[in-house]
Chain A
Amino acid sequence: MAARGCGGVWRRARQCGAGRPGPGLGPFPRGQRAVACNAKGGAVPAGKSGLAPWIPVVGLEIHAQISSNSKLFSGSQVQFAAPPNSLVSFFDASLPGTLPVLNRRCVEAAVMTGLALNCSINKKSLFDRKHYFYADLPAGYQITQQRVPIAVNGSLSYSLCIDNKMSQMVTKTVRIKQIQLEQDSGKSLHDDTRCQTLVDLNRAGVGLMEVVMEPDMCCGEEAAAAVRELQLILQTLGSSQAVMAEGQLRVDANVSVHHPGEPYGVRTEVKNINSIRFLAKAVDYEIQRQIEELENGGTILNETRAFDFKLGCTVPMRDKEGKQDYRFMPEPNLPPLILYDAKSLPANMNHQQVINIDWIQERLPDLPSVKREKLVEQYGILPEHSFTLLNEDGLAEFFESVVKQTQMKPKKVIGWILNDLLSYLKQHSLTVKESPVTSFLLADLLNLLEEKKISSTAAKQVLAELWKGEGKTPLEIVKEQKLELLQDQKELEQICQAVIDGQENE
């Protein structure tokens, strides 16, 4: 499939490309070929004329850790940052004779995610063993779903803004190839000075959903927007906490470039990306690197590269064993995973023992796209504002709560939320939940403004005071600092007179 449109994003992405400052559209330093995509899709050449443009192709493989109490095939607890090797069952340590027992919750989470991503859910899926030797893979194989995964053929719609203008948003779609259930590995810590490898198996066997996205994206910004939307969906479903910093969401990007009308180029896989911001950077860097390499007569190797966030570039990973043959084989200890829908559900089946896809479908919460539509419809705010509201955890709820408590129009409230509250929180790296100003206090303040008791300048002053979190109410601050608007004509006249008198006295 041809790379889809990438409205101007590519130009901007270049700007933040590591170590490559420079104008977005000007001539490129060091003979770089420029690539720009117009909003309708398709690459167009920029810079030197006469040379064929490059079309970047980006596909993603995303591992989302399933939010569950216990691991995919064992009863051990799942918990981030527990003492090393404190959450390891006999099975997790691959003790001989132990067998996997599938965790129902993990299956439900995968079904939920599949449905939310418009996938068809396979009523029969299979587990396979993928073999490789690694210190943090105790069994010597990972149980995954290589042949028949639990969900296939879905799609994810995501939006991004053009030229960094919030007012110009485009919605794009990336196809979801499949979602497969698989085990997480443990963690190896290499101590080079002492030549030791320390192994922590707490994570070994935790349930993962691997979401494979087709190469339908063409720049870092698109990849980042798609992942952000996926993250929101997972968090809304509760199927994964999807915190990238805690490794609950891990993104590998497959990147290649080619000329229009030509087959896809050789792709590289970029790993070690631990934030959405770095994802955009890593992808754009890799695209640029490949273009440069090819333009300079070089070739692209089918290799795995790591993103170095300090240097802002990708570097080849040490390939320990060369090309791996994973020697896939059916997992003989797990029968096929059978799911039912309302039609196929056997009447005499114990409901505790079966998973009903329709039942899960009926109970899916509102997905972010639906929530946004509702916000726009209900409050008359701009679509782009609905994005910002959902992008911050708890912000939409905060907004709705303020709206409920004030007479101010939601359209005006949103300004205070996005311009004042949000920028303050960002500046101080606070989450919405950590905000010193509660929705109640903000509503209180906005009510003073709405009742014309204070001016909007005064309101900002009060807000500045409120950030201190000293427990004063907006009204107390207004009184203390005498910020009330004077509406009594006589009083105003008296004040004016006093000022004039003072002048005369001088």
Chain B
Amino acid sequence: AALKGELRSQVSAALKEGRVTPTELCQRCLALIKSTKFLNAYITVAEETALKQAEESEERYIRGQPLGILDGIPIAVKDNFNTAGIETTCASNMLKGYISPYNATVVQKLLDHGAVLLGKTNLDEFAMGSGSTDGVFGPVRNPWSYSKQYKEKSVAKSHSEDKESNWVITGGSSGGSAAAVSSFTCFAALGSDTGGSTRNPAAHCGVVGLKPTYGLISRHGLIPLVNSMDVPGILTRCVDDAAVLLGSLAGHDPKDSTTIQDDFKPFELPNLNDVSKLSIGIPKEYHAPGLSSEILALWSKAADLFKNAGAKVVEVSLPHTPYSIVCYHVLCTAEVASNMARFDGLEYGHRSDMKDSTESMYAATRREGFNDVVRGRILSGNYFLLKQNYEKYFVKAQKVRRLIANDFVKVFRSGVDILLTPTTLSDAAPYTEFIQEDNRTRSAQDDILTQAANMAGLPAINVPTALSERGLPVGLQFIGRSFQEKQLLTVAKWFEKQVQFPVIQLEEIKRHDNDVFQHQKSTSFS
């Protein structure tokens, strides 16, 4: 049993009724962060400012003027969002010690809603990776590695091996945020999602991970990976919470010209009673090479669930999906090469001591500041952008991207409301196993089911579905129509209710457990 973080119905009510104060909430989270330090989920814990924000929130509650559901709610933010006064590192030597003078729009919005910013979460360097293993601050450990569920099913079997080597990765690149939400050290976290970086770790850590439609949430202040695909992601413990966060973050931002012009109306999710009018598409191409039989079984079970409830479930085809990865690789590295050009050591960030010439200073700064993954992508991106290669690679990749986007348009036009797919090929790999392959190979494999949604700019969400045979979380992904977040989340909420994903059983959480919140018995879906 643990805290069930339903912001709207539980935490917010408890705060309003004074059953718990923002300061107590904040302190409990800070204590939990300390006791789960071994997860390496946080790069920076902003204890002082968090407590101050909690105090201010508390005063608002005392005056009876809270700013809304998020007032006093402890949240965490991936360390590639700018936070004024708190270090923003991108888990890179390049930005170690960098303190931004401004808040990202999403951070500012959360603060404006009274949220308490606990700290900055770990990631792959500049969000380039799918394991949260390639940051300068070391890998993030999946909280489920230490859960009763995993220990019982998995660790017991591998009696010969040393316990330490059994921990599994979080997925990435927003692994720190996923781990933070999953281990109850915060109620919600911001991630970023370029090719699956929010949904992938959400799946591995058993939390909800929402990638909104491109343009719905401002990117201003998010240190970019691929501008044309990046979106701030939302990680929460339930679909309802994701809707609350979305409501406070979405809408036009004059500082980001790619955001929608119209205002966004926050919504509450209805409880779906009847799914018979829904048409769920099962894209056959997502039956990708390497998909574990366990996940495949879970996927069909989920499809049956909809069918049995009266929904129309149809197999659909997104024929250009297989080209997605290579196309993504070209577009991603090209933009990376361009976006990383600003890190030259002059205005901010790391600067090498090399003083022979400006050029040698640039070269040394960038060699010392970036890891191999980042440098590799810069190199290939610049190659694709060379005059003689531009047409051959970049322009072609853009065309393929259009075809991929059109695949979705056609399917949705055919009457399908939501697509149901797996989020990952398998459950989380043990770290020792994961690092056998290089970042490039891993990213190509791990993004395969998620990044087409980024190519097309569509909203997609990971919903934790069940535990694998090894006792690790497995999630399924729903992909919706552009700007139809409400429909997407409504269906996701219905599904979430059906599957009753189990709560993580973690010693550390138990110790901090508090009877303020109702204990919830969980039944497993698998």
Contact = CB atoms under 8 A, between A and B. Distances in A.
A135 B361 CA distance: 11
B218 to A, nearest CB: 9
B290 interface: no
A140 B220 contact: no
Interface stretch (B9-17, B254-262, B502-510): B254-262
A131 B362 CA distance: 15
Contact of B338 (A95, A100, A129, A321): A129
Interface string A118-158: 00000000000101010100111100000000000000000
B256 A99 contact: yes
Contacts of A98: 220-221
Contacts of B387: 325, 327-328
Contacts, number: 103
B394 interface: yes
Contacts of B82: 95-97
B358 A135 contact: yes
A416 to B, nearest CB: 56
A140 B342 contact: yes
A327 B385 contact: yes
B133 to A, nearest CB: 23
B371 interface: no
Given A97-B220, A138-B347, A325-B386, A131 B341 contact: yes
Interface stretch (A272-280, A330-338, A388-396): A330-338
Nearest to A94: B342
Interface stretch (B163-171, B196-204, B222-230): B222-230
B102 A141 contact: no
Contact of B223 (A96, A195, A197): A96
A93 interface: yes
Interface in B256-278: 256-258
Interface in A102-122: 102
B334 interface: yes
Contacts of B256: 99, 333
B359 interface: yes
Contacts of B222: 97
A95 B342 CA distance: 8
Contacts of B104: 97
Contact of A99 (B88, B101, B257, B362): B257
Contact of A138 (B95, B342, B362, B385): B342
Given A325-B387, A328-B385, A133 B338 contact: no
Contacts of B102: 90, 95
Nearest to B366: A133
A327 B382 contact: yes
Contact of A90 (B101, B219, B341): B101
A498 interface: no
A306 interface: no
B240 interface: no
A199 interface: yes
Contacts of A139: 341-342
B364 to A, nearest CB: 13
B344 interface: yes
Given A102-B257, A328-B390, A97 B385 contact: no
Interface string B71-96: 00000000001100000101000010
Interface in B309-341: 334-335, 337-338, 340-341
Contacts of B101: 90, 95
Contacts of A327: 337-338, 382, 385-387, 390
Contacts of B334: 329
Given A135-B346, A135-B358, A329 B220 contact: no
Contact of A97 (B100, B355, B358, B359): B100
A149 B427 CA distance: 50
B348 interface: yes
- Which range holds the interface residue count of chain A? 20 to 34
B342 A332 contact: no
B346 A335 contact: no
Interface residues of B, number: 45
Contacts of A138: 342, 344, 346-347
A430 interface: no
A95 B100 CA distance: 8
Given A133-B359, A139-B342, A332-B228, A93 B385 contact: no
Interface string A295-333: 000000000000000000000000011000101110011
Contacts of A100: 257
Given A102-B257, A197-B358, A332 B348 contact: no
Contacts of B228: 332
Nearest to A195: B355
Given A96-B82, A101-B257, A140-B341, A333 B227 contact: yes
B345 to A, nearest CB: 10
Contact of B255 (A95, A101, A102, A135): A101
Contacts of B358: 135, 197
Nearest to B341: A140
Contact of A333 (B88, B257, B348, B385): B257
B346 A329 contact: no
Interface in B335-392: 335, 337-338, 340-344, 346-348, 355, 358-359, 362, 382, 385-387, 390
Contacts of B344: 133, 138, 140
A500 B200 CA distance: 118
Contact of A141 (B341, B346, B348): B341
Interface in A4-32: none
A199 B358 CA distance: 12
Given A133-B362, A197-B358, A333-B227, A99 B220 contact: yes
Contacts of B257: 99-102, 333-335
A35 B173 CA distance: 68
Contacts of A141: 338, 341
Contacts of B338: 129, 131, 140-141, 327, 329
B382 to A, nearest CB: 6
Contact of B341 (A133, A195, A197, A321): A133
A332 B335 contact: yes
Given A131-B341, A327-B386, A329-B338, A199 B223 contact: no
Interface in B200-222: 219-222
The 7 tightest CB contacts between A and B, nearest first, are A140-B341, A327-B385, A332-B227, A332-B228, A96-B223, A94-B342, A97-B221
Interface of B: 81-82, 88, 90, 95, 100-102, 104, 219-224, 226-228, 254-258, 334-335, 337-338, 340-344, 346-348, 355, 358-359, 362, 382, 385-387, 390, 394
16 contacts: A90-B102, A95-B102, A95-B348, A97-B104, A97-B221, A99-B256, A99-B258, A101-B255, A133-B359, A138-B346, A195-B355, A199-B346, A325-B386, A327-B385, A327-B386, A332-B258
